[in-house]
Chains A and B, each alone.
Chain A
């Protein structure tokens, strides 16, 4: 794992390339995490790839409610030769949940970005096939958001719904 110093060195080099890109560095429980701006995510990952982090292990979403900006996308990078892990985070507000897609450079992100879009409503610009992946195609809302209620789902595939609307509520 890059230690706290190593993380700061990476952040410093990133800042030299683009002064605005790195927003925050966190070193917690022997794990380094880097927060960058949404616009610079492609360049950041590409630069980290040249530093050895050439395996994208996971892309997942987080809802930071009630903190702002609410939505977060995490990219778990792995360096297989040095056995290093590094988290790169992006935070976007609910009003403009746009993050550039990294699917072209990292094909593994394809399904995972679709899942983040499905669950959190983060829009990945440039994704080749941004559709819902786990929820039904006509589903409304983004269920993993913290303010999305649990339960109260209408039951699909029912034949008597036209004659008795809302029968499951009674």
Chain B
């Protein structure tokens, strides 16, 4: 600045440009137009990324921070379960289908058993139906808790992450007590459940249902009183219910948008019409509604569990038809007929009359349906799971287009896809 000379009439001791002149000749570097800013950036997200909740790969096209296009790529955990089912006797398929959507195993087993029971046209005893409902609803809470935990992780709410896993573990303890396994228990059988519940189980479940609402309040407080989380959840990724119906989306996502479709109410199966519960629905259809819906659903599930255990009917826990259910162990020593039935069932399995059945139930993620085709033999000719995660994943595009890439993580967490169910 040594060459700046004093201007005529300037009396200041400081030579150089005035502040106004400096401002006029300068430019704001922040508003600089770069030609690169107009270009689209393709970002590969996953398949090995903790926020994808599995091995989901998303090819996102970004314009700056805004998502312009998103393509899910799936199939990384495809294990050919549906193909394997065609090579197994009907009752041996149950452990396989349980491993599809690995967080809602009771639901997978329920859909499959329901489809086979429809084909066989057999009745399930009331006690088995109630026991199924109690386990299904406990499983719904466990699944939602894992959603809450991993969703909290994606939002940066680490406390919720640990608390969610802790309470889910309590439910798995209950499963271990009643059915022998914490996950994939093969408890539901064609015609009923594998075993009656052990003594003391009801008491333990009651203890859980009594203390769980207070825990839910704590978790809700952790999220609802956090301004950072609220501003990330509220008003983001809104999709209206007409678009969701076009895309075949069901479950909490659809209910968050204001459509009260729930198969437990609309088309009751397994005695769901005996219980008094409500269907929570949202109004806006944003991420916050999706979160609130699932929190409210857990409370409704607790009500159903209490009612199912209070009104648990006496009687058989599996159908009396020896053609389809194993005879009790003590009969094998005395009854020749029981021995023959046992031998037939564990070697060949039972045969199912030819036909096709589609059995839909309400899983934690939406309509989970099992399609079974029988050709009259002891192995199914086709088993197909209409998995809600697979169908719901298509809505990720309409949820995230035009939104920030940071909101995509939340949208994915609130979508709650289970890749085991998507890829099967």
Does B bind A? yes
Q: Say yes or no: is B45 at the interface (Cβ < 8 Å to chain A).
A: no
Q: Say yes or no: is B279 at the interface (Cβ < 8 Å to chain A).
A: no
Task: Knowing A144-B83, A150-B87, say if A107 contacts B75 (CB, 8 Å).
Answer: no
Which residue numbers of A lie inside 8 Å of B, CB to CB? 28-29, 31, 33, 54-58, 60-63, 74, 76, 80, 83, 85, 87, 106-108, 110-112, 115, 119, 132-136, 143-144, 146, 148, 150
Check A85–B394 contact: CB distance below 8 A: no
Closest to A109 in B: B248
Check B394–A110 contact: CB distance below 8 A: yes
Q: Say yes or no: is B246 at the interface (Cβ < 8 Å to chain A).
A: yes
Check A57–B83 contact: CB distance below 8 A: no
- Residue in A61, A111, A146, A148 whose beta carbon sits within 8 Å of that of B391 in the complex: A111
Task: Knowing A57-B369, A135-B78, say if A87 contacts B358 (CB, 8 Å).
Answer: yes
B-side interface size class: 35 or more
Q: How far is the CA of A63 from the CA of B82 in the complex (A)?
A: 13
Q: Say yes or no: is B386 at the interface (Cβ < 8 Å to chain A).
A: yes
Check B83–A112 contact: CB distance below 8 A: no
Q: Is the interface of A mostly helix, strand, loop or mixed?
A: mixed
Q: How far is the CA of A56 from the CA of B391 in the complex (A)?
A: 11
- Residue among B121, B355, B424 with the highest chain A CB neighbour number at 10 A: B355
Task: Knowing A58-B371, A60-B371, A83-B267, say if A31 contacts B357 (CB, 8 Å).
Answer: yes
Q: How far is the CA of A162 from the CA of B382 in the complex (A)?
A: 37
Chain A residue numbers with a CB within 8 Å of B75 are 132-136
Interface flags, B389-409, vs A, CB<8A=1, else 0: 011011000000000000000
CB B46 to nearest CB in A, in angstroms, measures: 16
Chain B residue numbers with a CB within 8 Å of A144 are 82-83, 382
Chain A residue numbers with a CB within 8 Å of B22 are none
Closest to B259 in A: A80
Closest to A132 in B: B75
> Would you mind naming 13 contact pairs between A and B with Cβ atoms under 8 Å apart?
A31-B118, A57-B248, A60-B386, A76-B386, A80-B261, A83-B267, A108-B391, A119-B82, A134-B75, A134-B423, A144-B82, A146-B86, A146-B381
Chain B residue numbers with a CB within 8 Å of A107 are 246-248, 394
Closest to B394 in A: A111
Interface flags, B216-249, vs A, CB<8A=1, else 0: 0000000000000000000000000000011111
Task: Knowing A108-B391, A134-B74, say if A55 contacts B358 (CB, 8 Å).
Answer: no
Q: How far is the CA of A56 from the CA of B357 in the complex (A)?
A: 17
Within 8 A of A (CB), among B350-368: 355-358, 360, 367
Q: How far is the CA of A66 from the CA of B381 in the complex (A)?
A: 11
Check A150–B84 contact: CB distance below 8 A: yes
Check A58–B119 contact: CB distance below 8 A: no
CB A112 to nearest CB in B, in angstroms, measures: 7
